[in-house]
Structure 1
């Protein structure tokens, strides 16, 4: 999420990976970057026994520019073993990404291969826009769906049909400015921290124009985590009812917004501003997803001053767990070549390479440790340690119908124009209407 020293570099990086999950607003984009293709190993599982009969270029669409460099290397490995197939990686920022896909779906020109998210899988999968991969997966001798966490695979399964293969997963961590902690004479946060510890530290760190913490209007990298730490819910288990009017949810939102009300956190609503607040030393603590790793590590200010640990504990421990999937357009002119590429991306070889390159926490079972060892700058094992109590990111058949509007209905309690209870009740009302319409 950050490529240079300038504040905007960090901002662009956060924007690029915000949903990685994954993680919920706009994202920065960058042009595809080509590197020299390495020689293919004779034992590489990228090798194909049936080379493409003609030269084919597959358009591969993603939304995170931080992952492009690593994915380019993986694509090069695939190309070297499949000389008839070229991979063109197209990076489009998060918001524009879905606009691009919608236009492509309407015009019948979706990318051949592209990332899919839990918010949008039902819309695309249930409307004939994605290639059904069920039979291809069952016949593959290069990987099995059981190689991936069942929670993630189920996200991309509709009525027994699999429309994407998990690519990675992510959790949310507490990032903290070690320099500011040292100046305040405070011990660094760790697994012993509770909500009270977090609050007390934020109060002590708020001084001399510095805020102790950043609690922005952000779901996946913010209040969702606290709702589940308080045994609340965003959506019911059967996905038919909102959980925003649950007393436990309201209590969690009261706690989360208290930092703003008491001026321990600035009022921030955009990802660009959220990133700058951390890089500029405005806030001593903040919540960001694991997908930010490569960008944070490349930013000199972040690398020098920051580290990350597990989220503090409320009534229970929880962090939001999500993952992306690789999908294929139902209308691609090259279904076999596209499948060959997705199949390779799903192999142990490619997934481990993704982890080693620090691209993202590979979803392939057992590959997470390689991602941890890929980075020595931060204590990134914290992200893996939280998986055992992680909660899958709230979703329904049409998540965006209620999730995007929730930002509008919740904003008044972040600005002090409405009580938290009122804002949560209004959010529950609109969400229940949207769920009833599904």
Structure 2
């Protein structure tokens, strides 16, 4: 009887501990990253049995809709994956917890994070997120098509570009562009109205960032987005951006790329997978998607060298933030701190999904890729090139809308590039005055 009583008491105590555990709700949008963070959550709870983590994943559009609805209804998650394009308005609306006191209290070594990733998530001494990863842009090439066209990997790795004649980049694109009769775009018999394979495919318009669409071309051409982060003055009326967008708009006219309308409906990623496009630019977050879906031989290559004499890429990074409406802020902070730690980011690196924010972890990711036969070194090459942070300022949604509309009119051939950008930039400057 005594033994049974003790056993029941022990069980009750155990149930009491379980009942007292605080559940932190955490959301992310990338299904590829879910397994890594589920492992991080299990490891975290093992070390902190009084805190459990419930992770929910949803697609990009649904993610932000649900988050905005949750802010209004009071049902938002405690912690969420945040994006630079979104966080200024969240911070302005007092929806993000300032982490700076906790960072100081717990002695978090922010120097561990790759250049600029920590600072960009802060403003006026407040800190709204801890960095979780970084990404750069590269180009994926159908190597079966390249070899058939007599193009070597060395040529691909050393392409140069300019907005006047396209440089060696355009010559390669022309060799890879094939019409229905088998003629490439260097041939006098090439039929630009009946193209079977496009040599290059621009993903779309890109809004205020142009992260995969035009930012790398424009910056390698001498364009800068703004004088510094949070500066309300933008340079979207720069002639360097105008001639870059004019060049991209000209490619469909010459049959080198699909039209903006077709790309919008088909998607450049799907076109590459289906063998309808030979070269497509994309971010390091898409490495696993292409490896899982491309059937033939492919290769990631660095972006072309521009007129500045440099390659250029946006160096972007996500962070984890805490909602001001959370009823468990201290526990949420412990989870955010763990997400930004070497312990969790090492797990993420070993899964080979993204490049973690902590310096030195990227090599673990490339090793994980190599073990699966993936060469992701082009993204590291770009990380050591001319990198630039995403543009960031108040009224980001309105800025993005203005640029989205302007770039679309240019790519659709409905407006002169310089005129469209002049009008958009004037509108944007009014937003921030």
State the TM-score, normalizing by the size of structure 1. 0.83
2:52 to 82, 86, 101: 86
Match of 1:309 in 2: 301
1:398 to 362, 372, 395: 395
Shift of 1:217: 2.2
Matched, 1:211 2:202: no
Match of 2:238 in 1: 246
Are the equivalent residues in 2 in contact too, given 1:321–1:392 (CA < 8 A)?
yes
Match of 2:23 in 1: 57
Match of 2:432 in 1: 435
Distance (Å, rounded) in 1 between the aligned partners of 2:61 and 2:177: 33
Please show how residues 272-287 of structure 1 align to structure 2 within 5 Å: 273-287=267-281
Deviations, residues 310-336 of structure 1 (Å, cap 9, x unaligned) = 100112321111000011111211112
Shift of 1:172: 0.3
1:229 to 220, 223, 226: 220
Distance (Å, rounded) in 2 between the aligned partners of 1:167 and 1:211: 36
Shift of 1:369: 0.7
2:329 to 307, 325, 335: 335
Match of 1:152 in 2: 117
1:166 to 131, 141, 155: 131
| Partner secondary structure for residue 432 of structure 2 | helix
Distance (Å, rounded) in 2 between the aligned partners of 1:234 and 1:315: 17
Distance (Å, rounded) in 2 between the aligned partners of 1:271 and 1:391: 30
Are the equivalent residues in 2 in contact too, given 1:59–1:87 (CA < 8 A)?
yes
Shift of 1:150: 4.5
Match of 1:415 in 2: 412
| Partner secondary structure for residue 327 of structure 2 | coil
Match of 2:190 in 1: none
Match of 1:362 in 2: 356
Match of 1:107 in 2: 73
Distance (Å, rounded) in 2 between the aligned partners of 1:53 and 1:405: 51
Matched, 1:202 2:198: no
Matched, 1:262 2:262: no
Are the equivalent residues in 2 in contact too, given 1:71–1:359 (CA < 8 A)?
no
Shift of 1:255: 2.2
Of stretches 56-65 and 93-102 in structure 1, the one that deviates more from structure 2 is 93-102
Match of 2:96 in 1: 130
Shift of 1:87: 1.7
Please show how residues 177-192 of structure 1 align to structure 2 within 5 Å: 177-188=142-153, 189-192=155-158
2:381 to 368, 382, 385: 385
Shift of 1:194: 0.2
| Partner secondary structure for residue 200 of structure 1 | helix
Distance (Å, rounded) in 2 between the aligned partners of 1:88 and 1:352: 21
Q: CA RMSD in A?
A: 2.0
C-alpha distance 405-106 of structure 1, shift in aligned 2 (>3 A): same
Deviations, residues 221-265 of structure 1 (Å, cap 9, x unaligned) = 111111101111233437222312111121222222222221200
Bigger radius of gyration among the two: 2
Of stretches 325-334 and 291-300 in structure 1, the one that deviates more from structure 2 is 291-300
Shift of 1:362: 0.4
Shift of 1:271: 7.9
Distance (Å, rounded) in 2 between the aligned partners of 1:73 and 1:300: 28
Distance (Å, rounded) in 1 between the aligned partners of 2:96 and 2:69: 15
Are the equivalent residues in 1 in contact too, given 2:141–2:298 (CA < 8 A)?
yes
| Partner secondary structure for residue 281 of structure 2 | strand
Distance (Å, rounded) in 1 between the aligned partners of 2:298 and 2:395: 37
Shift of 1:418: 2.0
Are the equivalent residues in 1 in contact too, given 2:248–2:411 (CA < 8 A)?
no
C-alpha distance 160-289 of structure 1, shift in aligned 2 (>3 A): same
Distance (Å, rounded) in 2 between the aligned partners of 1:136 and 1:336: 9
Deviations, residues 114-156 of structure 1 (Å, cap 9, x unaligned) = 0111112222223321122111111225x41121134111221
| Partner secondary structure for residue 55 of structure 2 | strand
Aligned residues: 383
Of stretches 204-213 and 271-280 in structure 1, the one that deviates more from structure 2 is 271-280
Match of 1:291 in 2: 285
